[in-house]
Structure 1
């Protein structure tokens, strides 16, 4: 076996997304030689190509169109946005191409230690890979391997769905159209983000949700967001499943009980499945769960020696920053450097409007762990910035350990929740007490002051304070 400190350590990486590149860059810094294997037409993985970047551009576009129609200030007129979906899509794709070149392709071009190999990879034994390229099969026997193969949209088993021209989230963003009517099946992150975006761009949207919105989160978050989406005209059907689907060449018919829903387009947004089916994990002794997600420990090690994994192909939370952090730590572990992935203060954001942001434990999760907790919820109509903006939607909730008074969780439904949540994440990571948070100085007027005000509610009635009371 090659010594972990050797400059000639050879690392093979399956995939070319953020986790793969984070590992490759760190490994190259440590002196390793890296072979990155990518089976797709483009490099960069989900985030830059079909996920975070294009979806957030689309969401921002839709928000601007919505804001023009719904101005809360007297004396400032509203206006209908003139929307050209094809040009919007083309601009999104140009920005995606720019970022793919500057953040991914440039690194390969400038890093002599990193080589890109195009082809489909699978294990043919422990630490042994076969890569099927356009020029035939190539065998690789590296010293270490990182699996960062990502995930793909999961398609539910619904009668009549196969063979119809339904959209996945990727196809929806790349369609260059805004259909008159859109049915969305799903109730989690991608479903709510795209449903609202299409509705704001002009589609009549119906959502079919198997249970409730954001079923894995604190119920108040999903219930609150559901009310806001319905307030914008989206028909959110909870506890609803489609029994069958048909397409006549022009329209989809989705049967729900005795009712038949009709729309020009159908978006399937029911989660993602790990891209591990073709890897032949068993040949390498790599264990996975029943969905195919690879099991890893805090150092990103799989059950097989010298094989690591990160990102959406694993049981880790499916966030690009988790994948990237895992890639860096895997590279460290490959070189014998003690480095672990700590998810105890991992923030998460859903980019609806208002946004949903969480970190740490919810009240229910904490109680399930046997903790004695205390919590407070502050409505955004108590936050001066929300009042000044004439936008008082949402709330912030803080959860603390009742004995130590240390913050252990935060849940936010509010405009700019994603910009606020990192303060709570830092507080959790530094084990700040709620009293310490309440006593901190926050700028005035900012949305983030909601953290301080909610912390103060553990000791006082903030409605009785002046605007910027300390």
Structure 2
């Protein structure tokens, strides 16, 4: 029987990062991946969706450029756009494979199942089976789209996010079930490509879980693109129409029934962990009722030599969280000492405008017995935002009056996903608003909004009224 120091199951961001780092630390590492290194993020999620978001943004940017004296009527070939997106994906996944091999990681195509607490069977894609012994295992099997009973993804009329990103033509009309980050990102893409989009959401707003003043500009922008938002409804069933379209049947809490006609239905109600393929109970690890693998801050499960990272290790399901967890797991599995500070993990929604957050909100800080001090800076007061013609939103910083430290931040507006990095560093290192405000920021830039928000928290803002 072959044996390795570290076995990594799953080649997404958490898995390949863990494999490379463990190999860098001198371990003999085998990485098992059944669908291609890069996982959902590189192949079917983060990268392809952001590529299409950027491309569709160019369409609306050109259409709205008349206020700058620029007039254009863009022609969109969605098939060529998808080919470009696929080229981006291929370049990244090919690069990751080369990095794995260059660092000495043995990459196997196949599916791994535990047979004991230190062995797995690896079934290759050609059907052959190999038994492998390991000292430490890192499970990074990720997640998959959740389905609605009666809405099978095997029917061409019903799409999950992966299938939607592979379409070679934009549908004339699309009904989207779910107004979370996946539903709103893809609704934005297709609306900008000319699709008539209707979104069905059981809650009473888009992006449930985010503060209303963060989601409000996103809702307003979606409506301006023609997206029809229907709240307080759940998908019940669907049927085919004689004209080749489908009818989505929904229902509200009072039992009232509704019907939405569309060419396709996109189910975007969330994702669930992939742990049912592992037979992980054979290793002495019991998944939760939802299929997650509980871990400590060193990414260890109930069995210290079996670690888990990424989506399968629990919320939030974010690629950068998986990477951070993968680095910690690799250090631990290779005999080092590392732990994850989950308080400084940022989140982002790549809608229009973008939303990004890190740390605590004002309400969360108060619930945690801090005395929060809040500073804000609106983008309509930013010179750079004005020159970009993107003035919706704001930067908000939450600090503790008693501790002086920055506890969290929320941003909605242009490049929010980039701007949150500075405030994530502030939370991670315990910086104060004075630290950030006292750092000279380049002018004119969007990052000045971060500085101004910190100055506002101190009551010293120059370019906005102090709170």
- Normalising by structure 1, we get a TM-score of 0.91
Measured against aligned partners, the alpha-carbon deviations of 1:391-431 in whole angstroms (never above 9, x if no partner) come to: 32112221111212321111111011112111111122222
Indicate the residue corresponding to 1:239 in structure 2: 232
CA distance in 2, matches of 1:110, 1:429: 32
Gaps of 5+ in 2: 252-256
Specify the SS of the correspondent of 1:277: coil
Among 13, 18, 22, which residue is 1:23 paired with?
A: 18
What does residue 131 of structure 1 align with?
122
Structure 2 residue 361 is matched with structure 1 residue 343: no
Q: Is the 8 A contact 1:161 1:244 kept in 2?
A: no
Q: Which residue of 2 aligns with 1:272?
A: 271
Partner of 1:283 in structure 2? 282
Which residue number corresponds to residue 162 of structure 2?
170
**TM, length-normalised to structure 2:** 0.92
Partner of residue 212, structure 2: 219
Q: 1:464 to 1:338 in 2, by over 3 A?
A: closer
Instruction: Go from structure 1 to structure 2 and tell me whether the alpha carbon gap of 1:9 and 1:125 turns closer, same or farther (over 3 Å shift).
Output: closer
Residue 196 of structure 1 deviates from its aligned partner by 0.5
The 2-side partners of 1:117 and 1:351 are apart by 33
- Residue 35 of structure 1: which of 5, 30, 38 is its match? 30
Give the Å deviation of 1:160: 5.6
Please state whether the residue corresponding to 1:344 is helix, strand or coil: helix
* 8 Å Cα contact 2:250/2:259 also seen in 1: yes
1:3 equivalent in structure 2: none
SS of residue paired to 2:395: strand
CA distance in structure 2 between the aligned counterparts of 1:160 and 1:428, rounded to whole angstroms: 42
What SS is found at the alignment partner of 1:332? Answer: helix
Runs of 4+ aligned residues of structure 1 deviating over 4 Å after TM superposition are: 159-163, 461-466
Q: Which runs of structure 2 are paired with 1:247-396 in the superposition (5 Å)?
A: 247-248=240-241, 250-257=244-251, 258-396=257-395
Q: CA RMSD in A?
A: 2.1
Contact 1:164 1:247 survives alignment (8 Å):
no
CA contact (8 A) 2:404 2:433 kept: yes
**Which structure 1 segments of 5+ residues have no match?**
1-7
Residue number among 62, 68, 80 corresponding to 2:56 in the alignment: 62
Residues 421-443 of structure 1: per-residue CA shift (max 9 Å, x gap): 11111122222222333333111
**Structure 2 residue 42 is matched with structure 1 residue 51:** no
SS at match of 1:243: strand
What displacement does 1:318 show? Answer: 1.4
Q: Distance in 2 between matches of 1:352 and 1:160?
A: 26
Q: CA deviation at 1:146?
A: 0.8
Give the 3 Å change call, closer, same or farther, for CA 47–163 of structure 1 in structure 2: closer
Separation of aligned partners in 1, 2:350 and 2:72: 24
Counterpart selection for 2:79 from 81, 86, 97: 86
Deviation at 1:364, TM superposition (A): 2.0
Between the aligned partners of 1:191 and 1:110, the Cα distance in structure 2 is: 38
Give the aligned length.
454
Q: 1:107 to 1:439 in 2, by over 3 A?
A: closer
Contact 2:16 2:37 in 1 (8 A): no
Q: How far 1:288 moved relative to its partner?
A: 2.4
Q: Post-superposition shift, 1:340?
A: 1.1
Distance 1:336 1:463 in 2: 51
Q: In structure 2, how many angstroms separate the alpha carbons of the residues matched to 1:435 and 1:228?
A: 34
The answer (yes or no) to whether the contact 1:161–1:246 under 8 Å persists in 2 is no
Shift of 1:463: 6.8
Inter-CA distance 338–160: structure 2 relative to 1 (3 Å threshold)? closer
Deviates more, 1:310-319 or 1:143-152: 310-319
Match among 109, 114, 126 for residue 118 of structure 1 = 109
